[in-house]
Structure 1
Amino acid sequence: MTQYIPEIFFIPTAIKLMNTEMPAATVSTMVSRWIYLNYVRDALTLIGWLAALKTFSLSQ
């Protein structure tokens, strides 16, 4: 499921950002949201890795 998150948000946002007719405030808002969601995605990935490591350490 998580492998589809970039296709759902990040790719369409990148396409929208290539539109040169957007006001600077709109672009700034979209970039800020993009950065924030990337941090959330990184945090969820870290949590998943830590949970996997914990699971493998308990199974031995």
Structure 2
Amino acid sequence: ELALRIAEAYNLPKNVKETDEIKGWVAKRPFDSSLDISKAKRLVSIDFYSLEENLKYMVVK
């Protein structure tokens, strides 16, 4: 989902490979490897940008 959102925001190709399509990996990869930032939010006194806000500030070369 993240890769597709980035592709849409920056008019990039949307040909994303699923982890089960990539051959040659030694270790198994989980289907969901998303990052949970709830603990970080509790520990620091700042709020994190939303995905949409982060995409505005992201630099793509």
State the TM-score, normalizing by the size of structure 1: 0.22
Which of the two has greater helix per residue?
1
State the TM-score, normalizing by the size of structure 2: 0.22
